[in-house]
């Protein structure tokens, strides 16, 4: 399978490198030439546009930031859909609204192209180690066709259902992570008010039954969300908005998980 990859950021770049190292013929495209420079020592080819990349690919992986970015690289005379032949597959690794994936899948199907949504979790360290979590939504036959490519950078690869199911899982994962950040900050602030130093309490909780990835992230960044906000704040806000939209559409109660997530996002928006 020939693979095209777009989105060579901190997470996408190691994913693309592992695809190349896995022996797949790989073509890359990036808006900034600097993003391609680290691949000069690899067998990867480069394309002049998303359409040119797609014409050289059977599977195109997108790891750009959000819904609008996905649409921009897919649409237009120089977009992926303009170059991808019938039978091709688009994998959306970006975290976007499930409806975005469904709209794209419907449009792509009109020209014989399949779409899977495949958001990931684990960040650059997991991508480099080949242990990303991939949450997959899409037709089972298409999922199995692309699984060997995903296996170069991911373990586990979890198929959750039809198109959009992977995005639902990723959005809920990020909602709960945000809620855990908010709950952890509340506990640390309460401890500080009761006379327990924040960093010391971080050490205790990180070694106790209440530990979590959220608490460990706060501890790593000095016991506050101030330094985490520039890295993850905007992305978590986007995903929590998507979660609220999904809950509204399903007429589902938002409940305490949204309250805790809102607390974390409020702290990120107004660092102390």
Comparing CA positions, the residue from 144, 175, 149 lying closest to residue 241 is 175
User: In this structure, what are the phi and psi dihedrals at residue 254, rounded to the nearest 5 degrees?
Assistant: -80, -45
Are 4 and 59 contacting, i.e. CB atoms less than 8 angstroms apart?
Answer: yes
Q: How many helical (H) and strand (E) elements, i.e. helices and strands, does the chain have? A: 12, 9
Report residue 160 as tokens: 């959750």
Dist CA 95 CA 253 (whole Å)? 23
User: Which two three-digit tokens encode residue 187?
Assistant: 């506990």
Q: Which residues contact 61 (CB under 8 A, 6 or more apart)?
A: 3, 4, 5, 6, 7, 15, 16, 19, 91, 93, 118, 149
Burial class (CB in 10 A: 0-12, 13-18, 19+), 125: exposed
Q: Are 40 and 97 in contact (CB under 8 A)?
A: no
> Is 170 a catalytic site residue?
yes
Considering the candidates 45, 170, 213, 238, report the single residue annotated as catalytic: 170
What is the set of active-site residues?
A: 170
């Amino acid at each position: 399978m020939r693979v095209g990859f777009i989105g060579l950021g901190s997470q996408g770049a190691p994913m693309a490198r592992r695809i190349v190292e896995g022996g797949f013929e790989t073509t890359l495209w990036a808006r900034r030439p600097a993003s391609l420079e680290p691949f000069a020592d690899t067998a990867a080819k480069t394309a002049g546009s998303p359409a040119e990349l797609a014409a050289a690919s059977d599977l195109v992986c997108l790891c750009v930031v959000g819904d609008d970015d996905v649409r921009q690289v897919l649409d237009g005379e120089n977009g992926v859909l303009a170059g991808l032949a019938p039978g091709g597959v688009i994998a959306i690794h970006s975290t976007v609204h499930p409806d975005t994936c469904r709209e794209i899948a419907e449009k792509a199907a009109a020209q014989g192209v399949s779409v899977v949504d495949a958001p990931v979790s684990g960040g650059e360290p997991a991508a480099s180690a080949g242990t990303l979590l991939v949450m997959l939504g899409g037709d089972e036959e298409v999922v199995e066709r692309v699984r060997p490519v995903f296996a170069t950078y991911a373990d586990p690869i979890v198929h959750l259902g039809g198109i959009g199911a992977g995005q639902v899982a990723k959005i809920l994962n990020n909602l709960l992570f945000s809620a855990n950040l908010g709950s952890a900050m509340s506990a640390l602030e309460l401890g500080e008010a009761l006379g327990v130093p924040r960093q010391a309490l971080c050490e205790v909780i990180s070694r106790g039954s209440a530990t979590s990835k959220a608490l460990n992230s706060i501890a790593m960044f000095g016991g506050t969300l101030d330094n985490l906000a520039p890295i993850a704040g905007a992305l978590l806000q986007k995903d929590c908005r998507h979660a609220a939209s999904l809950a509204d559409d399903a007429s589902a109660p938002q409940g305490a998980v949204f309250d805790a997530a809102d607390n974390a996002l409020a702290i990120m928006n107004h660092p102390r």
